[in-house]
C-alpha cells in the first residue's frame, strides 16, 4: 500500500493511450490498491492509472458508496446529454463544464476477474466518463465548454502553479484564463474544499447560482 505521485498537466504521459490488461496478477492488484490509497489521500473520487504514471487500463472510483476497481473499462452505449462540472487531480486549481451523456453503459472486469456490465447515471457516470477519457489520453479541459480557475484552493495551495504549468506542453490551455469568472461564484468556492466531495446537497449547493447544472460541486477525478 503506497501513495503514488500524481502526473500533472503538461506531462506527456497523460496524452497517451493506456493498454488493456490481459492478466489480473499480483502486480495489477497492488497497483489498484495504491491507486485507491492515492485517490483517498488526494480527496479525489476517481483516478486512472495513467495519473500515477502507469499506462494500463485501470480505474478506481468511490462516489461515497465504497471503492470500485475497474479493469479494461469501456463505454458500450451512451444516451442523452448533460452538463457536468468537473475537476481533475492532474489539473490542480481548475475546473470546467463538460457535456457528457446523461446515461452510459460500461463494461469492465472487476479485480476478481468477473465481467460486469453496468448502467451509470449521475455522479458515477460523470466519474466513469472522465476516467475512461484518461485511458484514451484525453484531459477534460480539452473537451470542456468552459475551463477556469477554481476560486478557492484546496489545502491552501497558491494559484501561481499555473505559471509553472504554462511552460509545459499545453500552455495555450492555461494561458488567457485571466478574467474568466469562476462559474457559480460562492457555490464553486464551496465545492473546491475537500469537504464537499461527497455531499452534493451541502451548503455549497444552496449558494449555487446556476441551477441548471445541478450540483455545483467539482470533485477531483
- By the criterion CB under 5 A, which residues form the site for Zn ion? 88, 221
For Zn ion, the closer of residues 157 and 206 by Cβ is 157
- Which residue in 79, 81, 86, 131 is the catalytic one? 131
For Zn ion, the closer of residues 59 and 196 by Cβ is 59
Closest distance of CB 67 from Zn ion, Å: 17
| CA–CA gap between residue 8 and residue 134 (Å, rounded) | 12
Contact between 209 and 185 under an 8 Å Cβ cutoff? The reply is yes
For Zn ion, the closer of residues 24 and 57 by Cβ is 57
The CB-nearest residue to Zn ion is 88
Helix (H, G, I), strand (E, B) or coil at 7: coil
For Zn ion, the closer of residues 216 and 219 by Cβ is 219
For residue 99, the tally of other CB atoms under 10 A from its CB is: 11
| CA–CA gap between residue 103 and residue 110 (Å, rounded) | 21
For residue 8, the tally of other CB atoms under 10 A from its CB is: 17
| CA–CA gap between residue 137 and residue 194 (Å, rounded) | 26
Question: Would you call 131 a catalytic residue per the annotation?
Answer: yes
Closest distance of CB 141 from Zn ion, Å: 10
Look up cell 461564484; give the residue: 185
| CA–CA gap between residue 76 and residue 108 (Å, rounded) | 10
Closest distance of CB 130 from Zn ion, Å: 5
Closest distance of CB 152 from Zn ion, Å: 19
Closest distance of CB 110 from Zn ion, Å: 21
For Zn ion, the closer of residues 24 and 100 by Cβ is 100
Q: What is the per-residue DSSP string for 71-128?
A: EEEEEEEEES-EEEEEEETTEEEEEEEEEE-SEEEEEEE-TTS-EEEEEEEHHHHHHH
Query: Which residues are tagged catalytic?
Result: 131
Amino acid at each position: 500500500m503506497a501513495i503514488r505521485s500524481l502526473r500533472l498537466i503538461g506531462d506527456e504521459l497523460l496524452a497517451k493511450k493506456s493498454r488493456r490488461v490481459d492478466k489480473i496478477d499480483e502486480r495489477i492488484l497492488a497497483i489498484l490498491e495504491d491507486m485507491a490509497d492515492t485517490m483517498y489521500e488526494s480527496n479525489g473520487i476517481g483516478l486512472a492509472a495513467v495519473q500515477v504514471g502507469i499506462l494500463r487500463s485501470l480505474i478506481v472510483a468511490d462516489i461515497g458508496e465504497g471503492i470500485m476497481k475497474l479493469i479494461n473499462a469501456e463505454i458500450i452505449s451512451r444516451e442523452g446529454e448533460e452538463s457536468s462540472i468537473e475537476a481533475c487531480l492532474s489539473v490542480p486549481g481548475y475546473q470546467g463544464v463538460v457535456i457528457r451523456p446523461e446515461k452510459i453503459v460500461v463494461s469492465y472486469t472487476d479485480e476478481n476477474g468477473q465481467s460486469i456490465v453496468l448502467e451509470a447515471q449521475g455522479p458515477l457516470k460523470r466519474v466513469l466518463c472522465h476516467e475512461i477519457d484518461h485511458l484514451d489520453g484525453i484531459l477534460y479541459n480539452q473537451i470542456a465548454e468552459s475551463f477556469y480557475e477554481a476560486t478557492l484552493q484546496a489545502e491552501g495551495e497558491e494559484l501561481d502553479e499555473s505559471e509553472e504549468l504554462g511552460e509545459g506542453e499545453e500552455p495555450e490551455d492555461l494561458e488567457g484564463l485571466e478574467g474568466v469568472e469562476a462559474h457559480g461564484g460562492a457555490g464553486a468556492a464551496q465545492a473546491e474544499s475537500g469537504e464537499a466531495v461527497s455531499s452534493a446537497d451541502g451548503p455549497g449547493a444552496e449558494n449555487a447560482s446556476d441551477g441548471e447544472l445541478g450540483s455545483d460541486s467539482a470533485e477531483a477525478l
